[in-house]
Chain A
Amino acid sequence: MPRDTSIQSVLVLGSGPIVIGQAAEFDYSGTQALRALREEGIRTILVNSNPATIMTDPELADRTYIEPLLPQIVACVIEKERPDAILPTVGGQVGLNLAVALEEAGVLSRFGVRLIGAQVRSIKKAEDREAFKRAMERIGLKVPQSQKVRTVQEAKEALERIGLPVIIRPSFTLGGSGGSIAYNLAEFEQLVLLGLQASPVHEVLIERYLLGWKEFELEVMRDKADNVVVVCSIENFDPMGIHTGDSITVAPIQTLTDREYQVLRDAAKAVIREIGVDTGGSNIQFAMDPGHEEVMVIEMNPRVSRSSALASKATGFPIAKIAAKLAVGYTLDEIQNDITKVTPASFEPAIDYVVVKIPRFNFEKFPEAAPYLSPQMKSVGEAMAIGRTFQEALQKALRSLELDSYGFDLASRLSELAPAEKELEIIRSLKDASWDRVWMVAEAFRTGLTLDYVYGLTKVDKWFLSQIQDLVQFEAELESIHDFHGLPEEKRYEILSKSKQAGFSDNRLAHLLRSDPSGIERLRDQAGIVPVYKAVDTCAAEFEAKTPYFYSCYQTEDEVPKSSTPGVAILGSGPNRIGQGIEFDYSCVHGVMALRSLGLRAVMVNCNPETVSTDYDTVDRLYFEPLSFEDVRHVLLAEPLQGAIVQFGGQTPLKLAMALEASGFRLLGTDPEHIDAAEDREKFNVLLHEIGLKTPRNGVARSVERALAVAEEIGYPVLVRPSYVLGGRAMEVIYEASSLLGYLKRNTKVSFEHPLLIESFLEDAIELDVDAVSDGRQVFVPAIMQHVELAGIHSGDSACSIPPYDLPETLVQGVLKATKELASRLEIKGLLNVQYAIQNGEIYCLEANPRASRTVPFVSKASGVPLAKLATRVIMGQKLDAPQDLIAHKKGLYFVKEAVFPFLKFQEVDAILGPEMKSTGEVMGVGRSFSEAYLKAQWAAGSILPKSGKVFLSVRDADKSRIVPVAKGLLALGFELIATRGTKAALQDHGIEATQVNKVHEGRPHIVDLLKDGQIGVVINTPEGSGPVLDSFDIRRACLVYNVPYMTTIAGARAALVALEGMHDKIEVLALQDFHNA
């Protein structure tokens, strides 16, 4: 069946900001879909609020709207563009929810637009647990006993039938938000309440918890002729009860017999047919009891998902691309498998390797959160590794996480415990599923616990456990070698060869053999024990592969075709984490595009399965490898290269720069010596002094005594942080010596392995961010960003505006000049990011980062200049051609970036901002005024500011006078003010009336009661001091749960007021193509 020619234009819905549960995988799927549709000559229209995506690049779609993903906004786009169809299945849950909302609001019928891929009735049937259960029963499949409830009372009744333990699943939420397991009645009631609050339709499913059952996933595709193929099977290492996004997962399924697998396969086909996904991919999850007697269907997603991105990377079968083709009418047999070029897409990939996905957590940023896993997803990223065996893939996966662990090292948190405590801690970690449980399993075997015992605690299938036990045994044998380097050469080679086949890193081997990594490396080089690269080809070598997608292993045959032309390698940014997310992948992908446009061969090294950079379609050669020195070195040795670019992938490749250069590799771009001059605080101070640029007084300390002395010298408050960090890891504002001591105690590893930076904290300073490109001669500064939050709040967590919305022109020019001077002095070749603070009209330079920054995509979108592409051309020797400085300021528009936070996922965590970055994603708003752009950014971030109603004010003493103008402004707009006693009194002093309300501990009804009642439209609540603030914690928690817009800083409140003042009824939606082509 050929393509449906009645579809000439398609609106693609993106998934919005990166949040836990919905990440870069939807940029990958959306980008693939847009490309696939364009190949068909279809006019594409995109709506996505996330500027840090490749899909929102103006050349990907014909019309690109970086606008809030709200039904009324999308309706405006539909009205303006009049697409024939909407593809909602590549934009995650956001895409599906929007499709349902548009249908229900009558928008689709009003404009005669149809949905392709999935219809609303299928979406509802898959999402609505009750409907899903009925559907599954119709096709003879079992689902866990469950009941949908809307009140706690109903829940209690349901429980009598189902029995504890149960899972509580809120309807229509992302990544299992609000989902939990209740083991007893008391916690049951509390968890039900939380779940009800988390659900947008105020409904939860009480479901039997299949304690200890195994979990499997199948990625299924269907076309309109009802052909169904299973693209990939996935087995979860962690059993039921841990969100699959937080579980280590393995492809293909390892522990099922063929007959057992075929039962799942048949069930998956039946499910996709019954739910009625017309075309495209679905993810179907199953549970099986440990005795392999019973199978149940857990859930199905009628869209591409995190798992389908993983499945695409794991097999080489591009699910999203094919889904887009199917949506416009093709059938699977009409689409070519572009890896083999000779076989059709209507087949099931055969793989001849093992894939392990491992989640990346950021619990260290949320010390209040219990670091244990549950049905609610908590990981912020993931890495994938490919090996010929599970052990090899697992060990590669461990080092891909970049946690300074190169295998099954002893978890550092155990190293200080006494043996008895240690065993207790291990047992607790196994039983309660700590985030680092996989290391704990190894530790359990090391301390002599048996396979059965570890199984009893973890319910992880014994097959997986035995693999780890085997590695522990292997390690013990290696450790028992007394004098490795004294062994005969042949014996040493044999040991190394065997170890490398099992996936051991040089680092780990060095530790086990009491050698050093470079010694191991030398020995291997001598013996020729180096990896070979094998292709991911969808067909287990049955056909010749045309697509260059490789992984390393220690086997005999290398099958990488030798290239005659030297290429350029770009080192990726590894798993996403807070502080280093999709923005860096964006720059990497642009680097690749620019290289290819220059006719150069682009070689990518990365291990993040979510991303566009690991789409084999994007690059000339993809090496799916950990970004550890060892693995990167091997790739660089295997490929003929002009050099490698390390400035796009964030801190990950930059950390390798020195070692790579020392190993004789040519690094392209800014010289490592100059990188060091910017990163090393002492050297940087000298440089700033030389060019007469101010910087907060600062010093470097390498001991506790020195730290206290330096802080004293500089004067409190001080800002402290370890050197070489990203995302403000362990960065704090400290007001007194005792706090500094406490800080040093908490961060011992940081302060002694790397020096501690201490600088004077600039209070009430405005922060600016600048991204520039330099060719070593000219410097191009496309924009200056002004942060909404003041210094002291991490720049990644602050909203920011292009152009600055509140900055005198002289300062703009001053910052421009300073940036150019810095770029010249640092002999920047490529990108430079500089951060400034303005205090009392003075410019202070805070730091300079000689690499792509988090804001590169935002600046690129605002200026219309693809900075990373430009930087790549410069790195490859081109000169800048009459660049127009501050071009983004001249568009007649404001661009506001806003951060998005994961607080809702961590119940114990207080939603306040500080120097440590906590946001996971970002959105952008575009408008003709700052207020319009800011308002849109707030909307896009999910903070829907109301036009009228009650505003609650409760501010710390220091803010009591600053809140006055905000309060006056709100009154003028017709808002009613509600305040706590102190704030009310302060307002009264300025003649402003407010209604008093109790704080939580002052008795009921209190503010949280009002929030629950939906009486409050906006909350302005600035907390006292620096630590977690107990008395107002409940207020902020309630805001999160009830989705009430809240500001925790005066700066944020001021910006919100500006936005409210500028609010009007007409919404104008703007396409990038409009203002960048004009």
Chain B
Amino acid sequence: MKGVLALKSGFWTTGELFGAAEESAGEVVFNTAHTGYPQVITDPSYLGQIVTFTYPMIGNYGVQADELESPKVHASGVVVRQLFRPSLHPKASSTFAEFLEAQGVPGLSGVDTRMLTRHLREYGSLMGILAPAEREEDVAGVVQRARVLEGLEGKDLVKQVLMGSKVELFRAQTRQDNAEATRGLVLLCDLGAKHGIVRDWLSLGFDVLAYPGVPDWDVVRLHKPKLVCLSNGPGDPAALTGEVERVRSFLGKVPVFGICMGHQLLALALGGRTQKLKFGHHGVNHPVVELETRRVVITSQNHCYTIVPESLPKHVRVTYTSLYDGTIEGMEVLDMGLQSVQFHPEASPGPLDPKFVYRRFLGAIHA
């Protein structure tokens, strides 16, 4: 079946439809990772986005059930140069196309994804529609509709991603294995958390209580957590005014670690502002520098927004910056027990290099 991708800018391209034969709208972004397409599309932060993979051959190793970041495909569509249909990897649980189809998400293959990427680089991330289009009239219709799409700015996508989520407790490995006491509880404010974050805290010996959204201090203190972790999540952080307010309610009362959107929320709670990047950071090769040591860390990143440096209060110390564009990649307020990173220490997909940031945080709060 033929399909089309049309952007708000008027750019459109046709291809072969795969996955679900559905029409889907979203913000079109590109991701430069060579591996990890199953993790990417199941990452809740991609909610509302149509992901273009710059690596041209996608589906090579199918999908492995244990390499997903959530049970669901959150991306609203996938655009690739070439789809590999069969499933030949010894651990594949399904093919990529079947996986998308089962999840009701459309994909488009045969696209000059490099041209699309260059377009996005020039115009910035753009809204678009991915839809079946057998005839020329269908294409024209989709192009028309794409022209009038509204952007994601100011939209609260977290509400959407958390639909149906419940409080869930994960027990640390160590406890199950040898009955030793855990290192305590991490209260994970789930804004669309990747499973990798839960996995990482568990492997560090913590129990994790995943709480949908951000509870206020009264709820937090009931659980007596060692620390609160603000997760990644989709959309515009500035739209989350209630969440920001509640984060502020426990600042200074409990150590807080923020990842990606969690990092941005923390900045907002501290009185800072965020702004949209032209085409965001979506890849697994982003170098950041740890300002204190000048150490370079290759990181996995996925964000469209960034913190406005001037907006941060003086007592906030910037700890990491991007070697690509100088944007803030990490910050801390030590006397309040706050640390956060814009990149993804949980990786999945991407390099495991920044895992040390958890230990660094735990050291800082003497946990």
Contact = CB atoms under 8 A, between A and B. Distances in A.
A557 B112 contact: yes
Contacts of A461: 88
A661 interface: no
Interface in B82-140: 82, 84, 86, 88-91, 112-115, 117-118, 121
B270 interface: no
Interface in B321-367: 323-324, 347-353
A253 interface: yes
B86 A466 contact: yes
Contact of B56 (A265, A290, A354, A539): A354
Contacts of B64: 257, 259
Interface in A329-349: 331-333, 342-344, 346-349
B89 A292 contact: yes
A336 to B, nearest CB: 11
A227 B295 contact: yes
A331 B294 contact: yes
A350 B61 contact: no
B323 A346 contact: yes
Contacts of A346: 287, 296, 298, 323
Contacts of A466: 86, 88
B272 interface: no
Given A262-B352, A349-B285, A253 B323 contact: no
Interface string A241-282: 000000000001111111101100110010000000000000
A479 interface: no
A494 to B, nearest CB: 13
Contacts of B195: none
B4 to A, nearest CB: 14
B112 A292 contact: no
A352 B352 contact: no
B33 to A, nearest CB: 7
A259 B117 CA distance: 26
A352 B117 contact: yes
B118 A290 contact: no
Nearest to B13: A556
A610 to B, nearest CB: 24
B310 to A, nearest CB: 22
A259 B34 CA distance: 12
The secondary structure that dominates the B interface is loop
A50 interface: no
B32 A350 contact: yes
A542 B90 contact: no
A431 interface: no
A348 B13 contact: no
A891 B351 CA distance: 59
A233 interface: yes
Contact of A347 (B30, B287, B349): B287
B97 to A, nearest CB: 15
Given A225-B295, A255-B61, A555-B112, A388 B67 contact: no
A3 B161 CA distance: 50
Contacts of A332: 296
A351 B112 contact: no
Contact of B81 (A256, A349, A389, A557): A389
Interface string B59-95: 0110010010000000000000110101011110000
Contacts of B115: 555-557
Given A255-B61, A351-B34, A556 B112 contact: yes
B327 to A, nearest CB: 13
A258 B33 contact: yes
Contact of B90 (A292, A352, A389, A555): A292
Interface in B21-35: 30, 32-35
A342 B121 CA distance: 15
B35 A540 contact: no
B3 interface: no
A389 B112 contact: no
A461 B61 CA distance: 12
B286 interface: yes
B286 A390 contact: no
A229 interface: yes
Nearest to A555: B112
B172 to A, nearest CB: 21
Given A389-B81, A542-B117, A353 B287 contact: no
A601 interface: no
Interface string A359-403: 000000000000000000000000000001110000000000000
A347 B286 contact: yes
B323 A541 contact: no
A258 B287 contact: no
Contacts of A543: 121, 324
Q: Is the interface of A mostly helix, strand, loop or mixed?
A: loop
Contact of B113 (A255, A348, A352, A559): A352
A352 B89 CA distance: 22
A533 to B, nearest CB: 11
B117 A265 contact: no
A225 B118 CA distance: 34
A461 B289 CA distance: 39
A559 B54 CA distance: 16
Interface in A583-624: none
B56 A559 contact: no
Contacts of A252: 34, 55
A351 B287 contact: no
B80 to A, nearest CB: 11
A352 B56 contact: yes
Contacts of B225: none
Nearest to B34: A252
A462 interface: yes
Nearest to A387: B56
B258 interface: no
Interface string B1-44: 00000000000010000000000000000101111101100000
Interface in A215-243: 225-227, 229, 233
B116 to A, nearest CB: 9
Interface string B284-317: 1111010000111010000000000000000000
A540 B287 contact: no
Contacts of A453: none
B148 interface: no
Contact of A389 (B82, B347, B352): B82
A390 B117 CA distance: 20
Given A555-B114, A557-B115, A292 B91 contact: yes
A233 B32 contact: no
A857 to B, nearest CB: 39
B169 interface: no
A333 B55 contact: no
A333 B289 CA distance: 8
B212 interface: no
Contacts of B352: 262, 265-266
| Pairs of residues from A and B, 4 with the lowest C-beta to C-beta distance, nearest first | A258-B36, A557-B115, A258-B349, A540-B54
Interface of B: 13, 30, 32-36, 38-39, 54-57, 60-61, 64, 67, 81-82, 84, 86, 88-91, 112-115, 117-118, 121, 283-287, 289, 294-296, 298, 323-324, 347-353
19 contacts: A226-B295, A256-B35, A258-B39, A261-B35, A346-B287, A346-B323, A347-B298, A349-B285, A350-B54, A352-B55, A354-B56, A354-B57, A463-B60, A539-B32, A541-B121, A542-B32, A542-B121, A555-B115, A559-B114
Given A257-B64, A351-B34, A540-B54, 14 more contacts: A229-B296, A257-B67, A258-B35, A262-B351, A346-B287, A346-B298, A388-B114, A389-B57, A540-B32, A540-B283, A541-B114, A541-B121, A556-B112, A557-B115
